[in-house]
A and B are shown apart, each in its own frame.
Chain A
Amino acid sequence: MSLEFTASEMMSVTAARALTSDMTCFVGIGLPSEAANLARLTHAPDVTLIYESGTLQTKPDVLPLSIGDGELCESALTTVGVPEMFRYWLQGGHISVGFLGTAQIDRYANLNTTLIGDYREPKVRLPGGGGAPEIATNAKEVFITVKHSKRTFVKDVDFVTTVGFGRDGKARDNVPNIGRGPTVVITDLCILKPDPDTKELVVTSLHPNVTREDVIDATGWEIRFADHLDTTQEPSAKELDILRDLKARTNAHHSGQQ
């Protein structure tokens, strides 16, 4: 029997499945945080979640609105200062996965969270880099989750806030002490992975009921599909229940009704 689910739910469940219990994940706020906590509440109860506010091994009951909500600190194994967080734990090599969102992503998985338009005359000013530039290079690998649209999936980002594989796909070549970079991008339509040689993002799996045309229409470059194209497994009833509970708890909490 097929369950009813939304494209966003499909995205969160698929992103959650990318994490396993043996990973130490540096979590970005928003979609990555939702996916990471869903993983912890379903198939990966021992996944270690770390937020840049210094909270190590945290287990929030509701999703944080900010990266430093009290919930993260109170449910953490311990909380360290921000310099220690970035220097010892991230730069020191203790993070296996950086889990990031973005405003724009290009064919080489470079991320832009700085601005749309020209730097000195921005059309839209975005928040900026935050922790992402160093998470993306100091974590052993990077997962990205973002909604698929032509505005977001552009051929070349307006500004490389956070490097994927650079403008030519070669930014990580011969750089010492750098992580593998993005290994998977999960959207509400599909899963993409970098081509092993060129590093250009290629669709490797379509979500149920999504067509190639849907992805082509939502991507700002001539997107390639893997020779062997999978269909992503549907969310299970359990995954959907837990995700919906988590979101309901979170919404009630942040609107002040606890």
Chain B
Amino acid sequence: MAEFLSLKDAVSRYISNGDTVCMEGFTHLIPFAAGHEIIRQEKRDLTLIRMTPDLVYDQMIGAGCAKKLIFSWGGNPGVGSLHRLRDAVEKGWPNKLEILEHSHAAMACAYEAGAAGLPLAVLRGYVGSDLPKVNDQIKFIECPFTGERLAAVPSVRPDVAVIHAQRADRKGNVLIEGIIGIQKEVVLAAKRSIVTVEEVVDDLGASVNACVLPSWAVTAIAEAPKGASPSYALGYYDRDNAFYKEWDGIARDRDTFQNWLKDNVFEKGAA
């Protein structure tokens, strides 16, 4: 059964230096509050996996939490570059960052295979792309039935999955609504999971086919209102598009970034 913890305790207990951590949420329900807690606790040498690194990983990479990033699209959506990610890749600041990149289709399949307990995912992908030349985790196999050449990638089976969801009930069952991304897959693929929620309620109010994670499939739940901001939580608050645009200026410069981190992360405790 999922255990209700403070965000601080959940991060401290279940994320260790050197862990492979997937913080998911495909442009929606991005677990920013949890990311900030990881930064405050100065976790180091993490292998971070995420399809769309977004601002949350830009912040964590700039804060020095990561040694490796596995991803498929690393930008500030509709705005431009992730400057902290680029600074780490291009200049090794604040530390060298190893990267391994995929396509979205391959990563989505890799999460699904992880949830299914398989060692690999198979897809009709990467045809003609140079990505397999720079990522040794992309191989090609022959279908034993048709002979078709297909791409294969290892499944994602992280130490820890971190996601944000709209709500949990008091037993710890979790409801995710709207763009559900790969949240269910990542939780089922991981050894441990932390789910932050907008609120804890008596009744989830879930429809019969809703995306629900049963309490016994989740390790820890922490209440974190506005825990996905500046991304959004459908039914609770909108995406702060203005902040996404502002981030470009904040992240471009190392000093501006560090001041932002000090004022907005280090000097603010977990909710």
B43 lies within 8 A of chain A by Cβ: no
B103 lies within 8 A of chain A by Cβ: yes
A196 lies within 8 A of chain B by Cβ: no
Residues of A within 8 A of B73 (CB): 127-131
Q: Is the beta-carbon distance between B182 and A83 smaller than 8 angstroms?
A: yes
A129 CB, nearest partner CB in chain B, Å: 4
Q: Is the beta-carbon distance between B81 and A127 smaller than 8 angstroms?
A: yes
Within 8 A of A (CB), among B88-130: 89-90, 101-106, 108-109, 111-112, 123-130
Which partner residue on chain B sits nearest A64 by CB separation?
B78
CA distance A171 to B52 in the complex (A): 28
Residues of B within 8 A of A253 (CB): 241
Given contacts A83-B111, A131-B73, 12 further A-B contacts (CB under 8 A): A55-B179, A79-B179, A91-B105, A127-B75, A129-B102, A133-B103, A134-B103, A134-B104, A134-B105, A160-B128, A162-B129, A163-B128
Which partner residue on chain A sits nearest B88 by CB separation?
A125
Residues of B within 8 A of A64 (CB): 78
Residue in B79, B90, B103, B124 whose CB lies within 8 Å of A129 = B103
Given the interface pairs A70-B232, A85-B108, A160-B128, the reply to whether A129 lies near B148 with Cβ below 8 Å is: no
Which partner residue on chain B sits nearest A111 by CB separation?
B129
Residues of B within 8 A of A255 (CB): 241-242, 245
Q: Is the beta-carbon distance between A70 and B90 smaller than 8 angstroms?
A: no
B185 lies within 8 A of chain A by Cβ: yes
B212 lies within 8 A of chain A by Cβ: no
Q: Is the beta-carbon distance between B179 and A73 smaller than 8 angstroms?
A: yes
Residues on B lying within 8 angstroms of A by beta carbon are 26-28, 51-52, 71-75, 77-79, 81-82, 85-86, 89-90, 101-106, 108-109, 111-112, 123-131, 134, 148, 178-182, 184-185, 211, 232, 234, 238-242, 244-245
Residues of A within 8 A of B130 (CB): 114, 159-161
A225 lies within 8 A of chain B by Cβ: no
Residues of A within 8 A of B105 (CB): 86-87, 90-91, 131, 133-134
A254 lies within 8 A of chain B by Cβ: yes
Residue in B51, B124, B181, B234 whose CB lies within 8 Å of A70 = B234
A175 CB, nearest partner CB in chain B, Å: 6
Within 8 A of B (CB), among A10-69: 29-30, 52-55, 64-69
Residues of B within 8 A of A65 (CB): 77-79, 239, 241, 244
Residues of A within 8 A of B106 (CB): 134
CA distance A18 to B178 in the complex (A): 31
Residues of B within 8 A of A55 (CB): 179
Q: Is the beta-carbon distance between B78 and A81 smaller than 8 angstroms?
A: no
B interface, over-half SS: loop
Q: Is the beta-carbon distance between A68 and B179 smaller than 8 angstroms?
A: yes
Given the interface pairs A52-B104, A91-B124, A125-B90, the reply to whether A68 lies near B109 with Cβ below 8 Å is: no
B53 CB, nearest partner CB in chain A, Å: 9
CA distance A66 to B82 in the complex (A): 14
Residues on A lying within 8 angstroms of B by beta carbon are 29-30, 52-55, 64-70, 72-74, 79-83, 85-87, 90-91, 110, 114, 119, 122, 125-134, 137-138, 159-163, 166, 171-172, 175-178, 253-256
Residues of B within 8 A of A87 (CB): 105, 108-109, 112, 123
Which partner residue on chain B sits nearest A119 by CB separation?
B134
A61 CB, nearest partner CB in chain B, Å: 14
Residues of A within 8 A of B238 (CB): 70
Residues of B within 8 A of A256 (CB): 240-242
CA distance A74 to B109 in the complex (A): 26
A-B contact pairs, 23 of them (CB 8 A): A65-B77, A66-B27, A66-B78, A66-B239, A67-B77, A68-B77, A68-B179, A68-B181, A73-B179, A81-B182, A82-B51, A83-B109, A91-B123, A91-B124, A125-B89, A126-B81, A128-B74, A129-B129, A130-B103, A132-B103, A133-B105, A134-B123, A254-B245
Q: Is the beta-carbon distance between A127 and B74 smaller than 8 angstroms?
A: yes
CA distance A254 to B112 in the complex (A): 33
CA distance A79 to B2 in the complex (A): 27
A29 CB, nearest partner CB in chain B, Å: 6
Max chain B Cβ within 10 angstroms of own Cβ: one of A133, A160, A176: A133
Q: Is the beta-carbon distance between B244 and A81 smaller than 8 angstroms?
A: no
Residue in B27, B112, B126 whose CB lies within 8 Å of A67 = B27
B36 CB, nearest partner CB in chain A, Å: 20
B158 CB, nearest partner CB in chain A, Å: 16
Q: Is the beta-carbon distance between A82 and B108 smaller than 8 angstroms?
A: yes
Residues of A within 8 A of B27 (CB): 53, 66-69
Residues of A within 8 A of B86 (CB): 125
Q: Is the beta-carbon distance between A83 and B241 smaller than 8 angstroms?
A: no
Max chain A Cβ within 10 angstroms of own Cβ: one of B26, B89, B109, B232: B26
CA distance A89 to B86 in the complex (A): 33
CA distance A52 to B250 in the complex (A): 28
Residues of A within 8 A of B239 (CB): 65-66, 69-70
